Chain A
Amino acid sequence: AQSVTQLDSQVPVFEEAPVELRCNYSSSVSVYLFWYVQYPNQGLQLLLKYLSGSTLVKGINGFEAEFNKSQTSFHLRKPSVHISDTAEYFCAVTSGANNLFFGTGTRLTVIP
C-alpha cells in the first residue's frame, strides 16, 4: 500500500510571496502523484499530476510540483501567491489501482 505525509498542516504566507507545500510519499512500487485544491465547502479540484516523464510538472493557477524519486517527495510550489490561493491542498498517491491515498491536507492562508 501507499501512504502520503503532508508535514505542514497550516502554512501562512504573505501575498505575492513564494510558497512551498511539502509532500512525501511511501510506496514499494511505482506511483502516480497528484495535488488537489479544496476551497471551503467545495469538492476537490485537480491542480496537477505526475504520471511519467519530466519530473517538473506544471498545473493550473500557476502551481508546479517536482517529483523527486530519491527523496520520495512531490512538493508543490508557486512563485507568487494571491489571496485567491487561500484553500486546503491535498497531496495524493496511487499505484494505478482503484484507491487513491490522500495526505491530511495543508491549509494555505494568504495574508494581505
Chain B
Amino acid sequence: SQTIHQWPATLVQPVGSPLSLECTVEGTSNPNLYWYRQAAGRGLQLLFYSVGIGQISSEVPQNLSASRPQDRQFILSSKKLLLSDSGFYLCAWNPREGTAKYFGPGTRLTVT
C-alpha cells in the first residue's frame, strides 16, 4: 500500500531563517505531488504541484519554492521566512489517473 511521510512534524523558526520541509511517498510511481498550506481557521491553499521530476507549478506567488529531485520526493523551501509563513503544511499525492488526493501527516511551522 502507499504511504506518505513528512518531516519534521513541528518546526519553530525565527523570521529571516531558511526553511526546508520534506515529503516522500512510498508504494507508487510517477505520482502527482502537492504542497498545501492551512492557516489557522482557514481552508487549505494549494502552493505548488508537480507532475514529474523537476516539473513544478506554482499557484501562489510568494517567498516559498518547491523542488522535486526524485520521483517520490517533494521539498518545500524558503530562503527567508516571514511571520505570515506560519501554518500547517500538508503534502499530498494522487496517482496519475486518479482524482482523489491523499495527504501526509503535516508539518506545523511557527515563525517567531
Instruction: Give residues in A with beta carbon < 8 Å to B.
Output: 4, 32, 34, 36, 41-46, 49, 51, 90, 94, 96, 98-100, 102-105
Contacts and interface: CB of A to CB of B under 8 A. Distances in A.
B102 A102 contact: no
Main secondary structure of the interface of B (DSSP, over half): strand
Contacts of A96: 99
B108 A98 contact: no
B11 to A, nearest CB: 13
Given A43-B105, A44-B90, A34 B44 contact: no
Interface residues of B, number: 23
Interface in B38-61: 41-44, 46, 49, 51, 57, 59
A100 B44 CA distance: 9
B100 interface: yes
B24 interface: no
Interface in B63-95: 90, 92
B103 A100 contact: no
Contact of B103 (A45, A94, A105): A45
Contacts of B57: 98
A4 B46 CA distance: 14
Nearest to B108: A41
A104 B42 contact: yes
Q: Among A4, A96, A98, which residue has the most Cβ atoms of chain B within 10 A?
A: A98
Contacts of B49: 98-99
A4 B43 CA distance: 10
A99 B46 contact: yes
A17 to B, nearest CB: 26
Q: Which 5 A-B pairs have the closest CB atoms?
A: A43-B103, A102-B43, A44-B103, A102-B44, A104-B43
A105 B51 CA distance: 27
A46 B100 contact: yes
Contacts of A42: 105-106
Contacts of A98: 32, 34, 46, 49, 51, 57
